Structure 1
Amino acid sequence: MALQINATNPEHPALLLELPWHLPLEEWPEEYLVPLPRGISRHVVRYARAGDEVIAVKELAQRPALREYELLRDLDRIGIPAVDPLAVVTGRSDTAGEPLESVLVTRHLGGSMPYRSMFETTLRPATMHRLMDALAVLLVRLHLAGFAWGDCSLSNTLFRRDAGAYAAYLVDAETGDLHPELSTGQRDYDLDLARVNISGELLDLEASGALHPSVDPIEFGTEICARYRGLWEELTRTSVYPAGKYQYIERRIRRLNDLGFDVAEMQIEHASNGDTVTFVPKVVDAGHHQRQLLRLTGLDAEENQARRLLNDLESWMATQDDYAPGDPLGARPEVLAHRWVREVFRPTVRSVPPELRGPMDAAEIYHELLEHRWYLSERAQHDIGLGTAVEDYIRNILPKARETLQPTAE
């Protein structure tokens, strides 16, 4: 059987042909590989360079490789945070003509880390709570979209910094299934697997001495269940309000927005006696602040980053002479937003030397600078300004943080 490359982009097959497909992944020469931290996997996984892109290459049988490729494409179409599928390579054989396993190729998620690399320096319990939050949000988003993961775990997730919190991305969809809607039993099965897997992974870390002594692996495994159920309840519960109190419905929608979700459709029913109104959010989409920031500025950021940038944008707009909400003669928000990107956001980010940024993207850098400005202003008891904060951050913070910001090879 001849080598075949099925790819999402017509440019990728030519780039991928340069890689040594006649060798098992374990034998690929160092010249093709990129030294990035890898998580635990049941399959052989390597990071390699294809043109200007860093790719993750996973060796597995042909049928599951093709199935996972299609599932990842489905998740991409419905906007679920997951690794980006690039290609499936089948028909591999070595120089003697012996068949080799197929390969799934995904794009490396820039700035992301597998959980074991994060535990190279013992994580504080507060940071671990944020990881659980991120994983709970990911699992809820998958279930709202009708995706049963079948193997939710820290090992099958990548984490990326998101304005002081973390964003979780699905990295292994091999055991997943996409349905029009999940039953309560399907969701509970996924959740119970997550609890068992996470507790087991943390017990392994405890045995190796990499777990904070105050962390109970069993309790943390159970925590994912509580966080998931609290978020699921908030997103899907039916609310009954007094008739005429439509501000309660608006308040509920704003609370969902604060959690990062949009209500794209809703069902409102009046009771037969007219005393109450029943409200049900019918379709809930994640990424509320992401979409708002992208629409206004063209910037693509994580959800928490987008919320923080929007707050700064709104504060900046209020200082502009031509900002007059509701005034047809005033500048439109989109015009001011692009001016903010051009005059504030980009110059500020570019002032940070690239060699000091590590894996942080532009939105995370800007968030860090805003945090530093707040800290210095609190200490000085007055606003020190963004320029001063940038200078101090570059001089005193980034050099010390460089080691922890940059991922290390295994």
Structure 2
Amino acid sequence: MRVLASTPNPGLLTLPWGTPLERWSEHVVPVPRGLSRHVVRVIHLDGVFYAVKETQEDIAKREYRLLRDLGRRNLPAVVPVAVVSERPADLGAALVTRHLAFALPYRAVFANGLPAGGVPLLVDALVVLLVRLHLAGFYWGDVSLSNVLFRRSAGEFAAYLVDAETGEIHPELSPRMREYDVEVGCENVFAELLDLQEAEPSLADEVDPFAVIERIRDRYGSLWHELTAEEQFSTDEVWRIEQRVERLGDLGFDVAELAMDTDPTGGTVSIRPRVVEAGHHARELAELTGLEVEDNQARRLLTDLASYAAHHGITDRAAAGRRWRYEIYDPIAEMVPPELRGRLEPAEVFHQLLEHRWLLSERAGREIDIFETARDYLDTVLARLPEEKLTAPE
């Protein structure tokens, strides 16, 4: 047996690699899984959760390297851990990846309850993921809901790639390659939604597959245009450069490189973003507080931080960030009892808490203290939510 690993864990060698994955029982954690061409199991080993996929050796090694490349580019994808090959009894190779905490396949998202307008939110998360991959030169080849895990992000979702088997990395994608990826995604999502409606007939009135695939095309086209299109204006409108950068910031992207040209007369300026990086709000929050959260969660938390700073008259943002975390965020996170900490991750709890505070304040006709709100939220909301974080088997 041979193990190729990026983060060696000696415990991997103790797993029953001489047994087909579908017959494993020890270490296996029963979790909802998406559709897959391969046998996939989630295991718990030495306090860590891993996903194991059985496949062919060349495919496993290729996907392992692709996922490592995506990680180096800071793209949202699962982290590869190892490839196990040359298994006893001529069994196929296995790709091992680290399980993503608080992440769910789309079927589990539906089962756990979508917020109002939840299907468009899933679609938007998938589109943002696809655009980010295309900007980095990654051709997916099999865009689908089944090849993604979703994490809650301040009432929306963030999507992570979990299957890169058909992917390719290029210096740049041609429009034809991008269009083909989008079309494959539309076909796959359409079929997945029909399967979902067949399994859950009650969804037939809530989910329109035709409207969903139209949204995929529209949202992809508009986001790609905003992030990459060339814009022309006269030299007395240079303020539009800053306006373009601000618009991208509102979308959660920073401009790392901007190409600017003038025409021969010097009267017209053309600008085009050449390198854009996602995570604008997440980076800002991390700098101020040290918290690492999804970008939409960061946007929500930054708003509360700004309100806190204004209320206390703190003009130094770094000082405000430290105090807000020490006096507000961390104490609230510690209020969540251990038995409820697997329902939502702390940043999502804080977002929902802020929503709950607004509702309580509206009902009471006065501003409700955030810690009073937290006590009510824990009892009336969080305690009723399903578990979304994996727990070790007893």
Pick aligned residue for 1:37 from 18, 32, 50: 32
Listed as ranges, the matches of 1:212-231 within 5 Å are 212-231=204-223
Displacement of 1:81 in angstroms is 0.4
Displacement of 1:120 in angstroms is 2.9
Structure 1 Cα separation of the partners of residues 99 and 183 of structure 2: 29
Which letter maps to 2:272?
Answer: V
For 1:124-154, what per-residue CA distance to the aligned partner results, in whole angstroms no more than 9, with x for missing partners?
7710000000000000000000000000000
Structure 2 Cα separation of the partners of residues 58 and 404 of structure 1: 24
TM-score w.r.t. structure 1 length? 0.91
Structure 1 Cα separation of the partners of residues 386 and 277 of structure 2: 37
**Residues 357 and 365 in structure 1, CA contact (< 8 A), matched pair in contact too:** no
Query: 2:320 matched to which residue of 1?
Result: 336
Unaligned runs of 5+ in 2: none
Does 1:317 pair with 2:300? no
Which letter maps to 1:119?
Answer: F
CA distance change for structure 1 residues 131 and 108 in 2, over 3 Å: closer, same or farther?
same
For 1:274-316, what per-residue CA distance to the aligned partner results, in whole angstroms no more than 9, with x for missing partners?
3332111111111111111112221110010011111111221
SS in 1 for 2:142: coil
Displacement of 1:383 in angstroms is 1.7
Pick aligned residue for 1:132 from 114, 123, 136: 123
Deviates more, 1:206-215 or 1:163-172: 206-215
Runs of 4+ with >4 A deviation: 121-125, 404-408
Structure 2 Cα separation of the partners of residues 50 and 404 of structure 1: 20
**Residues 140 and 168 in structure 2, CA contact (< 8 A), matched pair in contact too:** yes
Structure 2 Cα separation of the partners of residues 122 and 320 of structure 1: 38
Identity among equivalent pairs (%) = 49
**Residues 110 and 359 in structure 1, CA contact (< 8 A), matched pair in contact too:** no
Displacement of 1:356 in angstroms is 2.0
Query: 1:329 matched to which residue of 2?
Result: none
Unaligned runs of 5+ in 1: 325-331
Pick aligned residue for 1:182 from 173, 193, 196: 173
Structure 1 Cα separation of the partners of residues 184 and 153 of structure 2: 26
**Residues 288 and 317 in structure 2, CA contact (< 8 A), matched pair in contact too:** yes
Query: 2:20 matched to which residue of 1?
Result: 24
Structure 1 Cα separation of the partners of residues 113 and 352 of structure 2: 22
Query: 1:243 matched to which residue of 2?
Result: 235
Displacement of 1:118 in angstroms is 2.2
CA distance change for structure 1 residues 333 and 209 in 2, over 3 Å: closer, same or farther?
closer
**Residues 296 and 337 in structure 1, CA contact (< 8 A), matched pair in contact too:** yes
Query: 1:360 matched to which residue of 2?
Result: 344
Listed as ranges, the matches of 1:70-81 within 5 Å are 70-81=65-76
Structure 1 Cα separation of the partners of residues 116 and 317 of structure 2: 41
CA distance change for structure 1 residues 67 and 159 in 2, over 3 Å: closer, same or farther?
same
Displacement of 1:241 in angstroms is 2.2
**Residues 115 and 155 in structure 2, CA contact (< 8 A), matched pair in contact too:** no
TM-score w.r.t. structure 2 length? 0.94
**Residues 267 and 281 in structure 1, CA contact (< 8 A), matched pair in contact too:** yes
Which letter maps to 1:91?
Answer: E
Structure 2 Cα separation of the partners of residues 92 and 21 of structure 1: 6
